[in-house]
Amino acid sequence: MAMRMQERKLTPAARAALDAAGRLFYERGITAVGVEAVAAEAGVTKKTVYDQFKSKSALVCAYLAERDENYRTLVDTWIREHPDTSPLVAVFDALDEWLRTRGPKGCAFVHAHAELLSEPDHPAHEVIRGEKDWLLTTFTTLARDAGLAEPEAIGTRMSVLHEGAMVLASTTDLPDVVAEARRAAEAVVRDAGEQ
């Protein structure tokens, strides 16, 4: 499993490189951005990037792992700070916040998966699957905690709504797709009889 970023203390040079990689990989694509571009953006040498991350693949994994960790933290915080909203629905409010502030181009994991399809052994696929598994598990656990019948089915429905909203928000001109997904999530919760 990929190392969680909080378990690893980054040097200032590594932090600069990871921040630069995060911006460049998300904005331009993983395959379009080389280590030289990351180093230049970070104001460090290419050797420093390799000294800190060992390979571009490891840097890609670190970028995705940190993005995953940041989204998980946002979701957990949003649920905790909005106790009057169903936690299952609050995830969609967190998604709306994320897309507006940190993800206007959509899901970094979907983008990375598409870019790395020709490299099925790339270690980033484990991070990508981990993020999607976490989302499904989170929705399923929230449904179970709410006392809903068939929490696995509810978890799947919520994941489909979440992923669909994220993709449509970045690939279409449809207005308010996250708000529509949130309304659909409210209906799923209502129909399942949250207690």
What pLDDT band is residue 4 in, cutting at 50, 70 and 90?
very low
Please report where in the chains the tokens 């129909």 appear, as a residue: 191
Among the listed residues 140, 151, 139, 138, the one whose alpha carbon sits nearest the alpha carbon of residue 192: 151
Mean pLDDT of 48-56: 96
115 and 103 together in one domain: yes
Residue-level pLDDT at 194: 56
Q: Is residue 174 part of a domain?
A: yes
104 and 144 together in one domain: yes
44 and 108 together in one domain: no
DSSP character string of 48-77: HHHHHHSSHHHHHHHHHHHHHHHHHHHHHH
Give the domain extent around 62: 58-192
Q: What is the mean pLDDT of the chain?
A: 93
185 and 131 together in one domain: yes
45 and 127 together in one domain: no
Q: Is residue 155 part of a domain?
A: yes
Report the domain count for the chain. Answer: 2
Summarised one tens digit per residue, pLDDT across range 94-116 is: 999 999 999 888 899 999 999 99
Q: Is residue 2 part of a domain?
A: no
